Amino acid sequence: MTNKPLVTRYEDNPILTKHDIPYAVETVHNAGATKYEDQYILLFRSHLRNGRSILGIARSDDGYKFRADSKPFMVPSSDSEFSIHEEYGVEDPRICLIGSEYYITYSAYSRFGVRIGLAKTCDFESVERVSLISQADMRNVVIFPETFGGRYARMDRPHSEINPWCIWLSWSPDLVHWGESVPVIQPVQYHWDEMKIGPGATPIKTAQGWLNIYHGVFPTMDGAVYRLGVALHDLADPAKVLGVADDWILSPEDPWELTGYVHNVVFTCGAVAEDDGTVKIYWGGADSVMCVGVAKIDDLIELCLKKARPPLS
């Protein structure tokens, strides 16, 4: 292995900050990403001045230069089924295209804990809530964009006071009811992700398997450091992990990743695979701004398989 970074940061990072948003927000971070009708879409999280979060939308022709819409895309619901669970805000969306619908999983925060909400849109103009799809406490849910034997699969990350905080995989017949959950990747002691791990971007289908770009956290005397890592899941059975890369692929380095609302954080909720074998990875820097970088998908897969550690050890 050379010292060459696997992810090449875009030279004009950060690509979106609060100064680019036409309404009052304090941060722009942790955006889900996808392509819709030749446009790149970022659904980003913003803290308001009361510390609670809403979701905004920004669009781009090239995946680098984004323009935010004049209004937020999702704010806490006023419909009683959802409002009781979204009182403290909506956070960290992931986008998954299934058929012609874009499904959005997001964290719904309230005095009762954090649950996952499912919403959908077919045009990124209007959005409809479908259901709450987890109990408290759960964060970081990413749905696989295909079914397996007629069932949907998702990766999730239950909270627990009992370590370790693993990545789990659950199954569903209808995207609403989920079960048969199993842990699939576990943090490793004194590794860069020893404190906790969680799903990041919606998995990317490759010939060798599903590429999972996730986040891992290491505790230091100066607080937690959030980094990104990769794992490869079996194409036919995503609960089977073919390899977890021992090394991280991205660590906070740029000034806007090292300091901000929460220091030392790179956190992804979305990536877009391109036809040329590269992937644009989008990440929040220090819970304050949005950044992008490019990696070769084959390099990430090679790291999963050739520099692997056991998924559960």
Residues forming contacts to ligand BMA in the complex (CB under 6 A) are 30, 91-92, 226, 262, 265, 267, 284, 287
Q: What strand order describes the sheet that includes 278-285?
A: 8-9, 289-296, 278-285, 266-273
C-alpha to C-alpha distance for 4 and 98, rounded to whole angstroms? 36
Nearer Cβ to ligand BMA (110/208): 110
Report strand pairing: 167-172 vs 152-158. antiparallel
- The angle at the Cα of 136, spanning 135 to 137, to the nearest 5 degrees, equals 125
Amino acid making up residue 189 = Q
User: What is the nearest approach in angstroms of ligand BMA to the Cβ of residue 54?
Assistant: 14
For ligand BMA, the closer CB: 239 or 289: 289
Task: Give the burial string for 162-179 (b: 16+ CB within 10 Å, else e).
Answer: eebbbbbbbbbeebeebe
Minimum CB separation of residue 288 from ligand BMA in Å reads 10
Q: How far apart are CA 261 and CA 213, in angstroms?
A: 23
Q: For residue 301, what are its two tokens?
A: 């897969």
Q: Are 200 and 178 in contact, with CB atoms under 8 Å apart?
A: no
Q: Which one-letter amino acid corresponds to residue 298?
A: D
Q: Which is nearer to ligand BMA, 87 or 101 (CB)?
A: 87
User: Smallest distance from the beta carbon of 91 to ligand BMA, in angstroms?
Assistant: 6
Please state the closest distance from residue 196 (CB atom) to ligand BMA, in A.
8
- Amino acid at residue number 136: A
Closest separation in Å from C-beta 30 to ligand BMA = 5
Q: Closest approach of Cβ 134 to ligand BMA, in Å?
A: 16
Compare residues 88 and 226 and give the one whose CB is closer to ligand BMA. Answer: 226
Q: How far is CA 102 from CA 31, 42, 45, 144, 307, in A?
A: 15, 13, 17, 12, 34
CB 212 within 8 A of CB 198: no
Decide whether 164 or 235 has the Cβ nearer to ligand BMA: 164
Question: Burial, 1: exposed, middle or buried (Cβ in 10 Å; 0-12, 13-18, 19+)?
Answer: exposed
Residue number with CB closer to ligand BMA (226 or 248)? 226
Q: Which residue is nearest to ligand BMA (CB)?
A: 262
- Nearer Cβ to ligand BMA (56/284): 284
Name the minimum Å distance from CB 252 to ligand BMA. Answer: 11
